[in-house]
Amino acid sequence: MFDKLDATIDKYEELTQQISDPAVIADQSRYGKLAKQHRDLEGIVEKYREYKAIKEGIAGTKALLTDPEMAELAREELASLETRLESIEAELKVLLLPKDPNDEKNVLLEIRAGTGGDEATLFAAEILRMYSRYAERQKWKVQILNVSDSGIGGIKEATVIIEGDKVYSKLKHESGVHRVQRVPQTEASGRIHTSAITVAVLPEAEDVDVHIDPKDVRIDLFCSSGPGGQSVNTTYSAVRLTHLPTGLVVSMQDEKSQIKNKDKAFRVLRSRLLEIEHQKQQDAISAERRSQVGSGDRSEKIRTYNFKENRVTDHRIGYTVHQLDTFMEGYIDDLIDALITHYQAEKLKEQTVAA
């Protein structure tokens, strides 16, 4: 580990010199790439420097143990420094884990009502609101690409883009089935119903990630329509893309502009194709690797929201909190952090076994 850390410091110092070079600064494209590499290494370098400073502090403190007047104070200081050293070493191991190349990406969030009829559509709308509130608090931008209303205040499905700093790194463990248990407003007998929705979190693909051959896409244009088939406009602004090699179909009609609908549809198509490619890679690596982000099977129940008990439980890590009302307002930070910590620990186990 320490050989890797020493090499990281050497690389960081080399990058520091390069981004200070006037010739590099003048080349904005090159400067941007080098500056990003520099930022990515900064956290590791600072933590390793802190580690080495504490090591030096420990050595100096041990020298004081032979001084009768300083021995007791030195022992207390030594215990504190050694505890801190262990903590920093654990942090360094996490920082050195291979980075997910998608962690910096924006996210394509898809929410669909599943079993439960009207109640599922209402819950889907609440979950979309929950993620939107969380995104606002993270200072991320939420853009609705497509939404299908149920007519009673719920949504059958919705697709949104969430843009910001490291969005995928925070939301990538949210994919799966979210189950709700509560008494619907329309239930006269007060019986608890169980409904479910599916959430899919895809890293937004860029042109460099997925190349789409225009010959592989059939583009159909049609008139947009509202609920019940009522005409929204009489121009062919709605767009349907069919990716012939995979059979994927993406429709978009929220915008009045055909160009905007086409652009949104291609954003969704690229991200879905990227997910297919990632799933192939995960399948090829191992079942252990797939467990990091779930099996990819959308029927996998990951979380239960029990409104009667004001409880939310994530079944993957045994996390339970009795503040569901606050959770639904977008205060999901503690669970997000717990999931990230859990999957980092799983990666560390894999590395230990591999070593």
| CATH of 107-208+296-349 among 3.40.140.10, 3.40.50.720, 3.30.70.1660, 3.30.1360.30 | 3.30.70.1660
Joined tokens for residue 7: 């090499």
8 A C-beta contact, residue 337 and residue 321: no
- Please tell me whether the overall predicted TM-score, pTM, comes out greater than 0.85 for this model: no
Cα–Cα distance measured from residue 254 to residue 264, given in angstroms and rounded to the nearest whole number? 10
Query: Which residues, including other chains, have CB under 8 Å from residue 146's CB and lie 6 or more apart?
Result: 157, 158, 159, 251, 252, 253, 254, 264, 268
Numbered ranges of CATH 3.30.160.20 in the chain: 214-280
Q: What is the pLDDT along the chain (355 residues), one digit of tens a residue?
A: 777 788 888 888 888 888 888 888 888 888 888 888 888 888 888 888 988 898 898 998 888 888 888 888 988 989 999 899 888 888 887 777 777 778 888 898 999 998 888 889 999 999 999 999 999 999 999 988 888 888 788 899 998 999 998 899 999 999 999 999 998 766 666 788 889 999 989 888 765 567 788 888 888 888 766 544 444 455 677 888 888 888 888 888 877 788 888 888 888 888 888 878 777 756 654 443 334 334 333 346 899 999 999 999 999 999 999 999 999 999 999 999 999 988 888 877 776 655 5
CATH of region 214-280: 3.30.160.20
| CATH of 2-95 among 1.10.10, 1.20.58, 4.10.410, 3.90.1150 | 1.20.58
Q: In what order do the strands lie in the sheet with 301-306?
A: 141-149, 155-163, 107-113, 193-203, 176-182, 301-306, 311-314, 319-321
